Amino acid sequence: MSSDDVIDITAVDVPEPKKSGRKMLVIGGAAVLALLAGGGGAWWFMRGGDSAEASGEHEAAAEAPEGEAGSSSYIEVPPMIVNLRGSDSQARFLKLRFIIVAADGKTDKVKDKLPAVLDALQPFLRELRPDDLNGSAAVFRIKEEMMTRATQALGAGMVKDVLIQDLVQQ
């Protein structure tokens, strides 16, 4: 091979590939669409429901006297542990911690009748099967039944809500 056959590759100009303007346009359009979708979704969830409902709630809160706005009291009930009913011979237990939300000014009456509430809840809780505790709908059904039984034991208008703190099946 002679020295004349050597080609200097640094001197050869290689054409650069053209950048596609269409590709950049598609990427930019997708980014704008994503921002619009995110902003629209945020607006939808942050708007707080119907404006008529929201304004009605704000007016009711404004009309309430200072002490009545948050005068509900929370009564913590000692943890309950009950046997679960099952078809197999294996022993299963349910540990339940909940809070009773007493109506305005009814805290002392609810505390005085708390043993009656616990007595009303015992048969219901002991009849539960492990299958009754599966899923999020189960917690809702148990909460509703506890609310019904507490209202029957205490009388109408005494209990606003039952808040389940722990629901452990073993």
* Residue 148 pLDDT: 92
* Residue 13 pLDDT: 60
93 close to 138: Cβ distance less than 8 angstroms:
no
Total Cβ atoms within 10 A of residue 47: 10
96 close to 110: Cβ distance less than 8 angstroms:
no
How far apart are the C-alpha atoms of 97 and 150, rounded to whole Å?
15
pLDDT of 1 > 50? The answer is yes
Hey, which of 13-27, 34-48, 147-161 has the most confident mean pLDDT? 147-161
Q: Domain 70-169 classified CATH 3.90.1150.10?
A: no
Q: Tell me the mean pLDDT in the region 14-41.
A: 78
Domain borders along the chain are: 21-63, 70-169
